[in-house]
Copies of this chain bind each other. A is one copy, B any other.
């Protein structure tokens, strides 16, 4: 009698505990609410997280991603690099920058700032290439190249710091030099050599800090390739075809780092216009 009462109690405890283990409560949920809630659920459960994530990804991809962009646009390439590192497919929608389509009234409702890329995930629309990149990494953290350390806040703090060093120290001089030496000539305008010289001095100061860092670290944020490295790729790639290339070559550790990150297959694919247009067929 006492033994059977204990049996019932134990069975009850197991039932109560099992409730917490309920697998995939998101099954049957509206596809537009996934992967958000689905992934949050995976993080809470003791279920096999890998399996849980995979299931969310499948659900998330019911409609597919859409990317408005242009294959030679540095900011489009930033997002392409992340998509290829993650092994994700998407529908490319070409916005012709050579005819300034991104600033035409028909495009402004899509992005009122008149820029590409624009990323669609169901009803979610995102602009700003770095924000799009971080969204993709967040949703697909378990897939392909892991571009951020989501489990260690200190490591993620260092990675975030190098992402913002790119935004506020590297990008201003680098994108100005790309504008002067690559984009202006494309538009039939002449580079302003005084501006180029002044801006190169600014970039050199940044690269001196990078050189010190890269003496002791394989990549910027750590010995792993991270989002901070991805963010630098588009401007670096263009500067490799300008006289500014010498500033990178003169610094051995920076030079090694540039060679390694620009050689990544995902980056090569991001720079391949045929890969962009090929997807349309």
Contact = CB atoms under 8 A, between A and B. Distances in A.
Contacts of A121: 154, 157
A151 B40 CA distance: 5
Contact of A130 (B127, B164, B209): B164
Contacts of A135: 153, 156-157, 160-161
A150 to B, nearest CB: 9
A131 B168 CA distance: 11
B161 A128 contact: yes
A14 interface: yes
Given A7-B6, A158-B126, A153 B39 contact: yes
A37 interface: yes
B163 A139 contact: no
Nearest to A32: B154
A201 interface: no
A40 B131 contact: no
Contacts of A99: none
Interface size class of A (residues with CB under 8 A): 35 or more
Contacts of A156: 135, 138
Interface string A1-23: 00110110011011001001000
A246 interface: no
Interface string A223-243: 000000000000000000000
A35 interface: yes
A141 to B, nearest CB: 9
21 contacts: A3-B4, A14-B17, A17-B17, A36-B154, A36-B155, A40-B151, A44-B46, A112-B209, A112-B212, A113-B206, A121-B154, A126-B161, A127-B161, A127-B165, A130-B164, A131-B164, A134-B160, A135-B153, A135-B160, A138-B157, A139-B153
Interface of A: 3-4, 6-7, 10-11, 13-14, 17, 20, 35-37, 39-40, 43-44, 46, 112-113, 121, 124, 126-128, 130-132, 134-135, 138-139, 151-158, 160-161, 163-165, 167-169, 206, 208-209, 212
